[in-house]
């Protein structure tokens, strides 16, 4: 009888340990830590860039009576070109698709800043050989993720073209 009690006690202790380790070891659903930049993505369209192409652009942005000035380093922009899939049809889980990056004549840069909030922003851009070019854009929050993992950050993509500065719809 004593051996039955020891067996029952051991089984009960094992069951409790199994429940504790099985339930306590389950992490909650974690959100990915996205590297979301706050600020202005800047694209100088090919039509406004002087032949030599500036290495930087000076952006002046004003909101609510406060202005900020920033020099932004520029690099050549590119666009992605579809290089097709293999096999071409039908597309399935074993299909390999690819793309390549092709220079598009633009110059791009980024101004990381936390100095602005959603609302109207007066922006002016200038560089040696061009400008100033100006425009009024609407600062907005960009959303990423979904559900409990949804994040919002201030991001405004600025396109500097022959018609001035506009915020892109992307």
In which band, very low, low, confident or very high, does the pLDDT at 26 lie, cut at 50, 70 and 90?
very low
Task: Give the predicted TM-score (pTM) of the model.
Answer: 0.68
Residue 64 pLDDT:
93
What average pLDDT score do residues 88-100 get?
77
Q: What is the domain range of residue 148?
A: 39-78+104-167
Backbone angles phi, psi at 106, to 5 degrees: -85, 165
Domain count, the chain: 1
Q: What local confidence, expressed as pLDDT, does residue 22 receive?
A: 44
pLDDT of 169 reads 56
Q: Is residue 170 scored above 90 in pLDDT?
A: no
Residue 96 lies in a domain: no
Mean pLDDT (the chain) is 78
Please report the pLDDT score of residue 3 as a whole number. Answer: 44
Cα–Cα distance measured from residue 20 to residue 78, given in angstroms and rounded to the nearest whole number? 54
Q: Write the pLDDT tens digit of every residue in 3-20.
A: 444 434 444 444 433 444
Any domain includes 68:
yes
159: exposed, middle or buried (Cβ count in 10 Å: 0-12, 13-18, 19+): buried
Give per-residue pLDDT as tens, 96-145.
Answer: 888 889 988 899 999 998 889 889 999 999 988 887 899 999 888 887 77
Whether 33 maps to a domain, the answer reads no
Give CA–CA dist 140/168, Å, rounded. Answer: 11
Sorted by sequence, the CB contacts under 8 Å of residue 130 that are 6+ apart come out as: 48, 49, 50, 54
CATH number for position 116: 2.60.40
Assess whether pLDDT exceeds 50 at residue 150.
yes
Contact 123, 134 (CB under 8 A): yes
């Amino acid at each position: 009888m004593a051996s039955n009690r020891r067996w029952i006690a051991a089984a009960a202790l094992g069951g409790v340990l199994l429940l504790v380790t099985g339930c306590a070891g389950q992490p909650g659903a974690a959100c990915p830590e996205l590297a979301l930049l706050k600020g202005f993505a800047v694209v100088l369209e090919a039509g406004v860039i002087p032949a030599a192409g500036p290495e930087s652009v000076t952006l002046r942005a004003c909101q609510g009576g406060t202005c900020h000035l920033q020099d932004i380093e520029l690099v050549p922009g590119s666009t992605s070109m579809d290089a097709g899939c293999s096999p071409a049809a039908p597309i399935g889980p074993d299909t390999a698709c690819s793309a390549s990056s092709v220079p598009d004549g633009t110059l791009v840069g980024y101004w990381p800043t936390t100095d602005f909030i959603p609302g109207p922003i007066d922006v002016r851009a200038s560089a040696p050989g061009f400008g100033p070019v100006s425009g009024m854009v609407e600062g907005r929050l960009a959303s990423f993720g979904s559900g409990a993992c949804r994040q919002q950050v201030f991001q405004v993509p600025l396109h500097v073209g022959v018609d001035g500065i506009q915020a892109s719809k992307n």
